[in-house]
Amino acid sequence: MKSIYDMTYNDLEKYFLEKNEKKYKAKQIYDWLYKKKVETFDAMSNLKKDLITTLNQDFSFNQLNLIDQKDGKDVTKFLFKLEDNQVIEAVLMFHDYGNSLCVSSQVGCNMNCSFCESGRRKKVRNLQTHEMVLQILTIEKIKKLRISHVVLMGIGEPFDNYENVVNFLKIINNDNGLAIGARHITVSTCGIIPKIKEFMQLPFQINLAISLHAPTDELRSKLMPINKAYPLKELIPVLKEYINKTNRRITFEYILLKDINDTEEMANKLSQLLKGINCYVNLIPYNETSHIMYKKSKKQTILKFYDILKKNKINVTIRKEFGGEVMAACGQLRSKYEEG
């Protein structure tokens, strides 16, 4: 049985028309689901009983099972069990501009980035649309707050689960749904070129972030196997095309790894790679994990790297560090739960 949280607004309109009902009932359902946050059709008091019976026959109300919650300074990490007993994470970060949720898109990940805990443990399956939507709804219910910003940067590669992710974006961005503004939503990809080309055709103003992490094909291929399929020499021109088509600035995420990609030489090469591109670079201090050899760059190294980019007129920020004490790095809490 299909989850009601899998249904985009347009899907519901089509459903009601096929049932010889008025399509405005989609708005009624969305209002109950995403504004009033009810969790049964029987609670939808403006629907006729025979329609409620039909809806109960056609759709389920799925839930996520919270199995762990870690609270830190300005951050809470959640561990959820799915209906097939797989486990995923979501991370809530409290910023001065609002409450931002980092959402997972897959159980595990096949991209195999050498610095990532999720990539160490392979992809089990894609998350369904409702399993992404429910990360938001469940955490809003637990914490009694509204999530204003969403980043698809949790476990998984979003563009490896493209259809479900796009439906998720349609639901949370819809004015009748969770009404999270497009410019408050960011999708992160390691650079799957065909899906970036598809994504730029969508009528969204959603932000695109690229997991870059190295300024040369040689180093990036060592850190990120995806670069062998979609190298920088092919990726960068496509990103320039994306910017021209969408008129949107791209974010480049760059995790700083001690003595690997954090040198002055690398900072200069990164400046050259991104010269003239409408972008900004988000420098990310590394969250160390016991399973992976990489170490966090020293603070003075990070600041030097930042200064070089600034001097080369690259827009750059250093991401505020969140959740080292709650294992907030992607996949850490899941690994601890499943591996002990």
Residue 89 falls in the annotated catalytic set: yes
Q: How far is CA 224 from CA 217, 218, 287, 327, in A?
A: 10, 10, 17, 22
Buried b (16+ CB within 10 A) or exposed e, 53-83: ebbeeebeebbbeeebbbebeebbbbbbebe
Q: Is 116 a catalytic residue?
A: no
Q: Phi first, then psi: give them for residue 205, nearest 5 degrees.
A: -110, 30
State the catalytic residue, choosing from 102, 116, 279, 330. 330
Which among 89, 117, 131, 157 is annotated as catalytic? 89
Neighbours of 20 (CB within 10 A): 6
Q: Which of 68, 87, 64, 65 is nearest to 78 (CA)?
A: 68
> What's the Cα-to-Cα distance from 151 to each of 32, 155, 198, rounded to whole Å?
25, 11, 19
Cβ distance 92 to 73 under 8 Å?
no
Query: Which residues are annotated as catalytic?
Result: 89, 330
